[in-house]
């Protein structure tokens, strides 16, 4: 890293507060507060959905009513009033846009502040951006390029309109609506999200990316993402998140489903930097996400990479069901918690097919008064002969008021598989710090350097654009935690 | 559907038995103990037996255990068994002081409480309550947590007898004390032992704790042991379990360690129906050291559940855990480790390792090494593996002319030996080493007698392998 860039990071670090906290005033089209079957019908009608979708939502809602909020996670969550949430908010419908100029300037400005100018993205990085602004997609770029390859990349509601067969076939196939409390809630009220289909044998030429934003106080965000990689295809999908500063807790319950058919490969990367609450633990986003991939065909591969720095509460276990023979699942994660943040995150690897392989690398960093837990499951079924798993989850503690916990569950039911799990918990080595300091690097910078080195194994899995952002985020998140 | 409710039926039976026999159960109680008994009973009535919905019991299902009817003996049996002779477990060259529990009751020729020349008191807990009420009261039920699960509460409510050991300050007992738990009753027995061991300041104690069954009757033992280790004291604890396949043993041990104390505990499970060893260690003083080791060899339909909880309540303590298991046939092995490093318990060193060799597709292994850490200046690690024998090592041995069967045995033995080699008493180590070798050959499974009284003690067991070839 160049010296200038390092200085910049240091400056950002010393400034300290949440950088991306601002509110954009755009007229909103809102549903009344609360949740009942009428609201679900309202959402469905608003989005002009076919009957099967409404049926699905209602079934999910009825299931949800019978379920209870999970309490097994190592988290302290204040009670959530599900009737005090607005389940649908859409920016007012504008006429069809043909170029960026027609996009609401205020909206564009928001993106510019976040440093993800659509134009810039479009011109320089070659990334197609489907920007989700409070639940409804505003603008999709690069659709021409994608169209040429037959790739479908659009908002979920568009997909429901234009590709109902695909949606009907795959929605809920990886995360059934009754999977867990938050998945059921999402299935009932999901507002929008992204949909992606890569046809047979196509290698997606660009990295697909969505930026999610949560806006408008009191709006719960219920994203639904569905990625289908048909036989022999490849796609790298990026998801990044920032949210404005708010005092009120906001609920976020997303569902991400990935289906990889024979020989397909999906790489899913996330940088999550939602508002973590202030230094006293007030406010912040509640992030309850169900992410799961299904390696349906043989030789398929799904790889999750996540950098989690935001949210007051994170409850998230991206996992893979390795159904196809010789399929591969990977999970790379860096989770940083500071101040009063809480994270209970990890991965699930369910081995069903023969010769399936999975890797879990998880790096937790806790500072301040935060609690950071890794919770993972590696399950090898009887059929999964010659399967292999390697898990490593390390925790780094900065400060004596924080906690780091590891809950690895390992179950095996056949004799030809090998499962390994390793974990360490420690603080930054005094020797390393001393070494940096005697080379003239001050403590804060030295810690930034060491932490980045510690997380390198995961960061290097990220696509280039994300890696830079992630490194900055790590340093920002840890600001003020060292002394 | 009926079996589903067996635990409820049994609970009701136990509850009514307690109410009917309340006076007899608490005959020796001091006022405080009697009060605690009632509190514990209320707790049990509230929570009942553990079930699969509880996180700590999700992989150990007692459902099948409750499918049978069990009886409780509220007073020691009249007949004096001749077994006592047979169970003078004379490990070759190993001088021990043996104390025996027979079907849950202290068994002795004459006195129920013996004071050794160095001041050590050993004998029956029921007797100790009568003779040394203050000493017992100071520690009894102080280290348990009846809210942990229903069985702990039940034990506290029902306990009548067990073993009592007191080692005064600065006394080092060089003679190993051997606690033998024998089950021999034709009817199905439900036994609730309560043991209390107090080790004074700078004292030293070595205990060998054996659980054996003498016949093939069904039994359900729920033992709670409290061990208090005072400042600078040292305890070596060995647990040897060789029960019949119809027995259920729930063994909960609470170790409470004070400043600079040292504990080494080693659980060797050779055979048993359903065994659950819960080991709780509280490091309640700086400079404490806890070594918790275990090895389990299970086959057939057996189930072994090892639960280890190490609580680093104070700073500057070290703990080391190593559990290894060989799982064959349809057996199930569960390992749940939990290390808790509390706030301000700085300079903690804790490690936790669980390694399993799974030999068949029908065997199941669940392992969950769990760390919960609230202090930053610590070094904690854990590791868990489930795998098979190293093919290359196997090939190497076979290439030296050793048959497949022997080569596998040798590797399995070497796998288990890592734990066995940690036994510090040479004679005991050799003896257990032998037992493990025999067990790997499958010989112990057919041995329906106490493992330690096998007649060929004089001849140590060797693999029929020419080691010089390797």
pLDDT of residue A137: 47
Q: ipTM strictly over 0.85?
A: no
pLDDT tens digits, one per residue of B417-439? 999 999 888 888 888 888 888 77
CA distance A390 to chain B (A): 9
Q: Measured between alpha carbons, how far is B79 from B73 in angstroms, rounded to an integer?
A: 13
In chain A, which residue's Cα lies nearest the Cα of B327?
A415
Residue B373 with chain A: CB contacts under 8 Å: 395, 397, 403-405, 425
pLDDT tens digits, one per residue of A24-41? 555 556 777 778 888 888
Q: Measured between alpha carbons, how far is B309 from B152 in angstroms, rounded to an integer?
A: 15
pLDDT of residue A101: 57
Which residues on chain B place their C-beta less than 8 Å from a C-beta of chain A?
A: 55, 343-344, 346, 358-361, 363-388
Judged by CB atoms closer than 8 Å, whether chains meet at A410 and B384 is answered as: yes
Q: Report CA-CA distances (Å) from B159 to B34, B111, B141.
A: 11, 21, 11
Q: Is a pLDDT exceeding 50 seen at residue A123?
A: no
CA distance A377 to chain B (A): 9
**pLDDT, chain A, mean:** 79
pLDDT of residue B89: 46
Q: Are B98 and B70 in contact (CB under 8 A)?
A: no
Q: Measured between alpha carbons, how far is A385 from A362 in angstroms, rounded to an integer?
A: 25
In a domain, A96, yes or no: yes
pLDDT tens digits, one per residue of A194-207? 889 999 999 988 78
pLDDT tens digits, one per residue of A247-279? 456 788 889 999 999 999 999 988 887 777 777
CA distance A369 to chain B (A): 10
Mean pLDDT of A355-380: 92
Predicted TM-score (pTM) of the model is: 0.81
In a domain, A240, yes or no: yes
pLDDT tens digits, one per residue of B350-408? 999 999 999 888 899 999 988 899 888 888 888 899 988 888 999 998 998 888 888 88
Judged by CB atoms closer than 8 Å, whether chains meet at A422 and B367 is answered as: no
pLDDT of residue B205: 93
Q: Which residue in the set A406, A407, A426 is minimally distant from B379, CB to CB?
A: A426
In a domain, A441, yes or no: no
pLDDT tens digits, one per residue of B73-89? 887 766 666 555 544 44
**Beta-sheet pairing, A418-427 with B378-387:** antiparallel
Residue A422 with chain B: CB contacts under 8 Å: 381-383
**Nearest C-alpha neighbor of A347 from the set A364, A324, A371:** A364
In a domain, A146, yes or no: yes
Sorted by sequence, the CB contacts under 8 Å of residue B312 that are 6+ apart come out as B283, B319, B339, B340, B341, B342, B345, B348, B350, B375
> Which range scores top for mean pLDDT: B9-23, B324-338, B436-450?
B324-338
Residue B366 with chain A: CB contacts under 8 Å: 409-411
pLDDT of residue A402: 87
Residue A423 with chain B: CB contacts under 8 Å: 369, 371, 381-383
DSSP assignment, residue A368?
T
pLDDT tens digits, one per residue of A67-94? 988 888 888 888 888 888 777 766 554 4
pLDDT band at A174 (very low <50, low <70, confident <90, very high): very high
pLDDT band at A100 (very low <50, low <70, confident <90, very high): low
Least trusted range by pLDDT, from A211-215, A334-338, B67-71, B404-408: A211-215
In a domain, A418, yes or no: no
Judged by CB atoms closer than 8 Å, whether chains meet at B386 and A412 is answered as: yes
Least trusted range by pLDDT, from A99-108, A180-189, A356-365: A99-108
Q: Which residue in the set B344, B370, B387 is minimally distant from A407, CB to CB?
A: B370
Mean pLDDT of B137-153: 89
In a domain, A352, yes or no: no
CA atoms within 13 A on the CB side of B124: 21
**Which of A365, A412, A424, A483 is the best mutation test for B, with the most CBs of B within 10 A?**
A412
Tokens representing A260 are 């990889």
Judged by CB atoms closer than 8 Å, whether chains meet at B376 and A412 is answered as: no
Residue A411 with chain B: CB contacts under 8 Å: 364-367
Residue A402 with chain B: CB contacts under 8 Å: 374, 376
Judged by CB atoms closer than 8 Å, whether chains meet at A420 and B365 is answered as: no
Q: Sign of torsion, CA A170 A175 A176 A181?
A: negative
More confident residue, B219 or B396: B396
CA distance B65 to chain A (A): 23
Task: Name A420's bridge partners.
Answer: A390, B385
Task: Tell me how many domains chain A contains.
Answer: 1
> Which range scores top for mean pLDDT: A396-405, A472-481, B282-291, B451-460?
B282-291
Q: Is a pLDDT exceeding 80 seen at residue A464?
A: no
Least trusted range by pLDDT, from A126-135, A312-321, B427-436: A126-135
pLDDT tens digits, one per residue of A227-243? 999 999 999 988 875 54
pLDDT tens digits, one per residue of A143-154? 677 788 888 888
Q: Which residue in the set B364, B366, B374 is minimally distant from A403, CB to CB?
A: B374
In a domain, A61, yes or no: yes
Judged by CB atoms closer than 8 Å, whether chains meet at B384 and A420 is answered as: yes
Judged by CB atoms closer than 8 Å, whether chains meet at B371 and A417 is answered as: no
Q: Which residue in the set B55, B373, B385 is minimally distant from A397, CB to CB?
A: B373
**Nearest C-alpha neighbor of B346 from the set B372, B382, B381, B313:** B313
Q: Is a pLDDT exceeding 70 seen at residue B411?
A: yes
CA distance B360 to chain A (A): 5
Which residues on chain A place their C-beta less than 8 Å from a C-beta of chain B?
A: 72, 74, 382, 395, 397-427
Q: Is a pLDDT exceeding 70 seen at residue A415?
A: yes
Q: Which residue in the set B346, B380, B388 is minimally distant from A425, CB to CB?
A: B380
Percentage of residues of chain A with pLDDT beyond 90: 32
Q: Is a pLDDT exceeding 60 seen at residue B136?
A: yes
**DSSP state string for B97-151:** EEEEEETTEEE-SS-SEEE-TTS-EEEEHHHHHHH-HHHHHHHTTSS--TTS-HH
pLDDT band at A378 (very low <50, low <70, confident <90, very high): very high
Query: What is the SS3 assignment for B361?
Result: coil
pLDDT of residue A328: 95
**pLDDT, chain B, mean:** 84
pLDDT of residue A332: 93
pLDDT of residue A377: 93
Q: Is a pLDDT exceeding 70 seen at residue A246?
A: no
Percentage of residues of chain B with pLDDT beyond 70: 87
Domain extent for A111: 28-316
């Amino acid at each position: 890293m160049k010296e200038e860039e390092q200085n910049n990071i240091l400056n950002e670090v010393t400034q300290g507060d949440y950088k991306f906290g601002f509110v954009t005033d755009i007229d909103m089209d809102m549903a009344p507060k609360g949740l009942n079957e009428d609201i679900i019908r309202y959402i469905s009608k608003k989005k002009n959905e076919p009957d099967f979708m409404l049926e699905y939502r209602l079934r999910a809602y009825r299931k949800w009513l019978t379920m209870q909020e999970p309490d097994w996670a190592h988290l302290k969550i204040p009670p959530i009033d599900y009737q005090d949430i607005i389940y649908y908010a859409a920016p007012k419908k504008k006429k069809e846009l043909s170029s960026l100029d027609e996009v609401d300037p205020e909206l564009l400005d928001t993106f510019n502040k976040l440093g993800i100018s659509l134009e810039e993205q479009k011109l320089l990085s070659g990334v197609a951006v489907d920007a989700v602004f409070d639940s409804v997609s505003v603008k999709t770029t690069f659709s021409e390029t994608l169209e040429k390859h037959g790739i479908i990349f659009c908002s979920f509601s568009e997909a429901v309109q234009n590709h109902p067969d695909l949606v009907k076939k795959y929605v809920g196939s990886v995360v059934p609506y009754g999977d867990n409390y938050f998945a059921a809630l999402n299935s009932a009220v999901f507002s929008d999200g992204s949909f992606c289909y890569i046809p047979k044998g196509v290698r997606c030429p660009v990295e697909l990316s969505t930026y999610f934003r949560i806006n408008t106080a009191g709006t719960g965000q219920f994203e639904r993402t569905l990625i289908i990689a048909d036989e022999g295809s490849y796609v790298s999908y990026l998801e990044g998140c920032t949210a404005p500063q708010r005092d009120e807790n906001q609920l976020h319950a997303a569902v991400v489903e990935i289906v990889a058919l024979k020989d397909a490969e999906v790489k899913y990367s996330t940088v999550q930097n939602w508002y973590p609450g202030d230094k006293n633990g007030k406010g912040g986003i509640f992030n309850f996400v169900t992410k799961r991939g299904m390696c349906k065909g043989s030789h398929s591969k799904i790889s999750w990479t996540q950098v989690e720095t935001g949210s007051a509460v994170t409850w998230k276990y991206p996992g893979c069901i390795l159904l196809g023979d010789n399929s591969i699942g990977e999970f790379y994660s860096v989770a940083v918690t500071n101040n009063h943040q809480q994270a209970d995150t990890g991965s699930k690897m369910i081995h069903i097919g023969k010769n399936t392989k999975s890797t879990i690398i998880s790096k937790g960093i806790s500072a301040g008064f935060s609690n950071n837990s890794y919770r993972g499951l590696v399950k090898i079924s009887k059929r999964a002969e010659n399967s292999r798993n390697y898990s490593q989850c390390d925790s780094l503690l900065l400060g004596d008021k924080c906690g780091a916990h590891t809950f690895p569950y390992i179950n095996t039911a056949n004799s030809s598989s090998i499962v390994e799990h390793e974990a360490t918990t420690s603080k930054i080595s005094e020797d390393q710090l001393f070494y940096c300091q005697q080379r003239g690097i001050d403590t804060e910078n030295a810690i930034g350097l060491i932490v980045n080195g510690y997380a390198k194994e995961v960061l290097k899995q990220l696509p280039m654009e994300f890696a830079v952002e992630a490194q900055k985020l790590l340093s920002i998140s840890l600001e003020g935690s060292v002394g | 559907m009926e079996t589903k409710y067996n635990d409820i039926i049994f609970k009701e039976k136990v509850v009514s038995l307690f109410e009917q026999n309340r006076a007899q159960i608490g005959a020796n109680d001091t006022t405080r103990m009697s009060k605690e008994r009632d509190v514990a009973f209320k707790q049990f009535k509230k929570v009942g037996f553990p079930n699969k919905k509880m996180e700590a019991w999700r992989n150990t299902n007692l459902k099948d255990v409750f499918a049978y009817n069990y009886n409780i003996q509220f007073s020691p049996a009249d007949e004096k068994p001749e077994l006592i002779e047979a169970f003078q477990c004379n490990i070759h060259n190993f001088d021990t002081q043996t104390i025996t529990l027979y079907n849950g009751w202290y068994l002795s020729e004459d006195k129920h409480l013996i004071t050794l020349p160095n001041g050590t008191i050993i004998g029956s807990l029921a007797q100790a309550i009568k003779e040394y009420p203050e000493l017992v009261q100071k520690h009894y039920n102080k280290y348990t947590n009846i809210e942990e699960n229903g069985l702990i509460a039940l034990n506290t409510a029902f306990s009548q007898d067990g073993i009592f050991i007191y080692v005064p300050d600065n006394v080092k007992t060089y003679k190993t004390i051997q606690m033998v738990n024998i089950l021999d009753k034709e009817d199905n027995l439900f036994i609730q032992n309560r043991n209390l061991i107090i080790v004074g300041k700078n004292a030293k104690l070595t205990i060998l704790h054996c659980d054996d069954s003498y016949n093939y009757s069904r039994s359900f033992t729920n033992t709670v042991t409290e061990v208090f280790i005072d400042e600078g004291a040292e305890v070596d604890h060995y647990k040897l379990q060789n029960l019949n396949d119809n027995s259920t043993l729930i063994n909960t041990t609470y170790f409470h360690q004070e400043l600079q104390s040292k504990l080494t505990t080693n659980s060797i499970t050779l055979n048993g129906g359903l065994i659950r060893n819960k080991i709780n260690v509280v490091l309640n003083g700086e400079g404490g050291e806890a070594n918790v080791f275990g090895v389990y060899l299970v086959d057939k339909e057996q189930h072994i559940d090892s639960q280890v909880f190490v609580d680093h309540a104070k700073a500057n303590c070290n703990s080391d855990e190593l559990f290894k298991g060989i799982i064959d046939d349809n057996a199930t092995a569960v390992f749940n480790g939990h290390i808790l490093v509390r706030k301000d318990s700085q300079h903690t060193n804790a490690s936790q390792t669980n390694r399993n060799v799974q030999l068949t597709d029908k065997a199941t292994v669940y392992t969950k090494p769990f760390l919960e850490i609230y202090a930053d200046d610590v070094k904690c690690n854990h590791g868990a593996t489930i795998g098979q024998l190293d093919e290359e090592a196997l090939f190497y041995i076979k290439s030296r002319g050793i048959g497949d069967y022997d080569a596998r045995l040798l590797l399995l033995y070497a796998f288990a030996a890592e734990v066995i080699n940690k036994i510090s008493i040479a004679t005991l180590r050799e003896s257990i080493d032998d037992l493990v070798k025999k067990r790997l050959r499958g010989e112990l499974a057919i041995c329906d007698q106490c493992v330690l009284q096998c007649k060929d003690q004089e001849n140590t067991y060797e693999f029929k392998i020419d080691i010089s070839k390797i």
